[in-house]
Amino acid sequence: MIETLTQLLITTTTVDNGTFWLPKAASTVAEDVDFMFELINWINYFFFAIIVISMVYFCIKYRRKSPNMVCEGPTHNTALELTWTIVPLILVGVIFTVGMRGYLDLREAPEGSYEVQVTGQKWSWTFAHPEYGATQVAELTVPVGKPVRLLMTSNDVLHSVWIPDFRVKMDVVPGRYTSLWFEATKVGDYQLKCTEYCGKDHSKMLATVHVIPADEFDATMTKLASEYEDMSVGQLPAYAINRLYNRCVSCHSLDGSTGTGPSFKGLWDRVKGGDVTFSSGEKLSSLLGDATLYGEPENYIRESLLDPQKHLVKGFLGAMPSFQGQLKEKQILAIIEMFKHLDELTDEQGNITVNPDGTPTE
């Protein structure tokens, strides 16, 4: 009991410990946010105490002492009225000033922040590092002690990024960008969650923020960007569906539904069988086999990625961007392998069922 009560009063958070009220504090803005919280909390304790104590005291002091007791009702008390106007005004003024300072600090990312592009989508987070050409899903690696700016958008509905230990939170909105920034103060893993109810699996829309030493960051990201280099062909499909498919997801589904582009479901069978009709009326089957344009069907996929306008699939516009220079040869191979093994990577509803390392997702 006593322990719980003292717990309620301990207000200083640290990186290793949270308090009864707040999770641990692991970013530079946490101090300001926590100070604000503590200030308001203590104002509450203080007024709770004087209000309850005087209420009890007045109840006793001014109680009806005999059944016939009559007294004059209260009228004005200028001093009292001024006090209960001016004191709260000052308090609210202080809260506003301190809060506004912290808020402005939270809104403006420092010059030269490391930028990450975040995409929310039912029900996962994708983090792209343009500086390294690396993409992470459900994981975000950042350096300690460096400001990081997240530039965020959504592919479908409203989501919201919340990293409780960093005290930052911002809505993620389809059709526009929002941003937030933080500077982590301690190496470790922190949870990021979606905090805008976004449908069935909202509660599973989680990611882990890995804060690593700043001098390891460059090597880690470079390795991540080229992790496929050391993979065997058998490992490529799981890599591709987790690390590369997020660049296609806005236009290509895995569940057979038509989007801006044709679904990837059954794509390999269609391509292998030459069963694709182009907008010119030509059939892919006439371009497959010896002494034809493509020869092997794999070449058609390769060309779809590098020169998508050359042969448009009938019924679609030339909306696909070229991935020339953006995908390395081995990544193109990984995508082709992904198409060939799509059945083993997804379930009937088109949900991805393997992790990047090939283990099944739960």
Residues β-bridged to residue 207: 192
Single out the residue of 262, 265, 297, 354 in contact with ligand HEC (rule: CB under 6 A). Answer: 262
How many Å apart are CA 124 and CA 102, to the nearest integer?
30
Please, which residue, 117 or 220, has the CB nearer to Cu ion? 117
d(CA 352, CA 198): 19
Of the candidate residues 335, 342, 345, 354, the single one contacting ligand HEC (CB under 6 A): 335
Q: State the DSSP code for 279.
A: T
190 beta partners: 209
- The smaller minimum CB distance to Cu ion, of residues 205 and 320, is found at 205
Residue 276 interacting partner from Cu ion, ligand HEC, none (CB closer than 5 to 8 Å by kind): ligand HEC
Report if residue 194 touches Cu ion, rule: CB under 5 A.
Answer: yes
Q: Which of 25, 267, 287, 342 binds ligand HEC (CB under 6 A)?
A: 267
119 binds ligand HEC (CB under 6 A): no
Residue 319's binding partner, choosing from Cu ion, ligand HEC, none, with beta-carbon cut-off 5 to 8 A by kind? ligand HEC
Write down the least CB distance from residue 339 to ligand HEC, Å.
7
118 binds Cu ion (CB under 5 A): no
Of the listed pieces 35-43, 99-107, 211-219, 319-327, which binds ligand HEC according to CB under 6 A?
319-327
Query: Residues 173, 214, 312, 352: which binds ligand HEC (CB under 6 A)?
Result: 312
Which residues, numbered 232-251, are part of the site for ligand HEC (CB under 6 A)? 244, 247-248, 250-251
Nearer to ligand HEC, 146 or 270 (CB): 270
The secondary structure of the chain in percent helix, strand, coil, rounded to multiples of 5, reads: 40, 20, 40
Q: Is 198 in the site for Cu ion (CB under 5 A)?
A: yes
Tokens of 338: 């992904």
Q: How far is the CB of 196 from ligand HEC (least distance, A)?
A: 25
User: What is the spatial order of strands in the sheet that 124-129 belongs to?
Assistant: 134-137, 124-129, 114-121, 147-154, 178-183
Q: Which is nearer to ligand HEC, 250 or 299 (CB)?
A: 250
Computed on alpha carbons and rounded to an integer, the radius of gyration of the chain in Å comes to 30
312: DSSP letter: P
Tell the smallest beta-carbon distance from residue 250 to ligand HEC (Å). 5
DSSP notation for 204-256: G-EEEEEEE-HHHHHHHHHHHHTGGGG--GGGHHHHIIIIIGGGTTTT--SSS
DSSP secondary structure string, 105-166? Answer: HHHSPPTTPEEEEEEEETTEEEEEETTTTEEEESEEEEETTSEEEEEEEESSS-EEEEEGGG
Q: How far apart are CA 265 and CA 276, in angstroms?
A: 14
Contact flag: residue 207 with Cu ion (CB under 5 A):
no
Which residue's CB is nearer to ligand HEC, number 236 or number 305?
A: 305
Which residues of the shown chain bind Cu ion in the complex (CB under 5 A)? Answer: 159, 194, 198, 205
